[in-house]
C-alpha cells in the first residue's frame, strides 16, 4: 500500500468534506471515517484505477450513511471550504453563491462540487456517486442552469413543456 498517495488526497477530501458537512468538525470526522474505511477496504481498490475517485466514492457513501442517521443536510461553510483558491470576489457575491448552492437539490449540488470544485471528470464523478455518466451530465446541466437562474435573480423558475 502506498500511504503517501493516500495522504496526498487528504486536502481535497477535507475541502469536499467541508462543503458537504457544513462545518469543520463534522468535516474532520467525515475525512477520518473515510480514511478509516479506505484503509480497511484497501484490498478492494483496483491497482491502476484512480485512487482519488475511489476515495471520493467512499466519502460520498459514508456521508450518505451519516445523513440517513441524522436526517439533515447543511452547507454553511462552502465559501470558506471550497473557494480559498478562487480569485478574491465581492463578499456579497460569495454569500449569494453560498445561498444559491444551498437551494440546489443535494444530487445536483454533489455533482457540481465534484466536477466544478474538485475537477473530477464525468467518469470519475460517476464512479464516486455510483450513477451513470449520463446522470452526472444531466444533473450537472440542471445544476448549472438552476444556479445561473438563482444568481441572476430570476428565482430559478424553469420553463416546463406540456407533453400530451
User: Domain with 71 in it: what CATH number?
Assistant: 1.20.140.160
The answer to the question of residue 159 being in a domain is no
| Sites in the chain below the pLDDT cut of 70 | 1-2, 68-92, 94, 154-164
The answer to the question of residue 69 being in a domain is yes
How far is 41 from 63, CA to CA, in rounded Å? 17
The answer to the question of residue 164 being in a domain is no
The residue to which cell 451513470 is assigned = 132
How far is 163 from 139, CA to CA, in rounded Å? 21
The answer to the question of residue 124 being in a domain is yes
pLDDT for the residue numbered 155: 60
Tell whether pTM > 0.75.
no
The answer to the question of residue 109 being in a domain is yes
| Cell numbers given for 24 | 469543520
pLDDT for the residue numbered 160: 56
pLDDT for the residue numbered 28: 92
Burial letters 55-65, b for 16+ CB under 10 A, else e: bbbbbbebbee
The answer to the question of residue 160 being in a domain is no
Q: What is the span of the domain harbouring residue 78?
A: 3-152
The total of structural domains in the chain comes to 1
pLDDT for the residue numbered 128: 85
Amino acid at each position: 500500500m502506498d500511504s503517501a498517495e493516500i495522504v496526498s488526497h487528504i486536502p481535497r477530501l477535507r475541502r469536499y468534506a467541508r462543503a458537504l458537512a457544513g462545518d469543520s468538525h463534522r468535516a474532520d470526522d467525515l475525512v477520518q471515517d473515510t480514511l478509516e474505511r479506505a484503509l480497511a477496504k484497501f484490498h478492494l481498490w483496483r491497482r491502476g484505477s484512480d485512487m482519488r475517485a475511489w476515495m471520493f466514492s467512499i466519502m460520498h457513501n459514508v456521508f450518505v450513511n451519516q445523513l440517513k442517521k441524522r436526517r439533515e443536510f447543511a452547507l454553511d461553510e462552502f465559501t470558506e471550504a471550497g473557494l480559498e483558491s478562487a480569485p478574491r470576489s465581492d463578499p456579497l457575491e460569495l454569500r449569494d453563491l453560498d445561498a444559491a448552492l444551498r437551494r440546489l437539490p443535494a444530487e445536483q449540488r454533489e455533482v457540481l462540487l465534484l466536477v466544478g470544485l474538485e475537477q473530477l471528470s464525468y467518469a470519475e464523478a460517476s464512479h464516486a456517486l455510483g450513477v451513470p455518466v449520463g446522470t452526472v451530465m444531466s444533473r450537472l446541466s440542471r445544476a448549472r442552469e438552476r444556479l445561473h437562474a438563482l444568481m441572476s435573480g430570476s428565482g430559478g423558475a424553469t420553463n416546463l413543456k406540456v407533453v400530451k
